[in-house]
Amino acid sequence: MSPSGRDADFLSLSALQHFAYCPRQFALIHIEQQWAENRFTAEGQVLHERVNDGEPEHRGDLHIARSLRLICHSLQVTGVADVVEFHPVDDDTGCQLPGRPGNWQPYPVEYKRGRSKADDWDRIQLCAQAMALEEMLNTAVPEGALFYGKPRRRERVALDAGLRDKTRDLARAARMMLEHGQTPAPEPGPKCDHCSLREICVPDSTSASAYLHRMLD
């Protein structure tokens, strides 16, 4: 399913993660249409290509869907889930799959380079995927997982009420910023060191002054 008409203006799932990470980064990418690559973005791209290029799989009772297009009208977001696993359930919960008997529990798995983070940037993106699956399949998705490339293991994520409220609030705030078209001022911090837009953002005053001089020359 792909968005059309008014749905084409929905936020992307990746944009929601950008906003959670840094509202200024979100604005530079999605309002000013600026982008730059660095080692971290390149590693992330390679990881996602390896995951998304695979075909759907059946491993015993497990069905694995890749590059699944999602849309969530309540959040007004759309995008592609790296992996959604479907686990068989014995009761009448879950959803049905074409050509597969019984009921199935969706379980989204988002792939990320690096390691687990204390902040909820990645968990919010995963939660939005789960909320999209709930709308599309009319079933609850209480848990998902983040797979991190450095330790090469999963982090289970409980998609609880607190995380869902945070996801809704951030989606609303991101849409408002996009509608107003205003890029916020820099807020320098440790995460700036890993951001590919550091040279564009110029979070410190010395770099900002140099940037303005280059623009005016």
Q: What is the pLDDT of residues 171-186, one digit of tens each?
A: 999 999 999 999 998 8
Is 126 a member of any domain? Answer: yes
In a domain, 166, yes or no: yes
- Does some domain include residue 37? yes
In tens, the pLDDT along 89-146 reads: 998 899 999 888 899 999 999 999 888 988 999 999 999 999 999 999 999 999 999 9
Strand pairing report for 95-97 and 100-112 = antiparallel
pLDDT of amino acid 203: 81
Q: Quick check: is 204 in a domain? A: no
User: Which residue type sits at 123?
Assistant: R
Residue pair 66/51 in contact by the 8 Å Cβ criterion? yes
User: Which CATH number is 133's domain given?
Assistant: 3.90.320.10
| Segments forming the whole domain that contains residue 31 | 5-185
Distances (CA, A) of 120 to 12, 22, 116, 145, 186: 17, 12, 10, 13, 20
When divided into structural domains, the chain yields a total of 1
Query: Is residue 82 situated within a structural domain?
Result: yes
pLDDT of 164 = 98
User: Is residue 212 in a domain?
Assistant: no
Q: Tell me, what DSSP letter sits at residue 98?
A: T
Q: How much is the pTM?
A: 0.82
**72 belongs to a structural domain:** yes
In a domain, 198, yes or no: no
Alpha-helical (H) ranges within the chain are 13-21, 23-30, 39-52, 121-137, 161-180, 198-201, 205-216
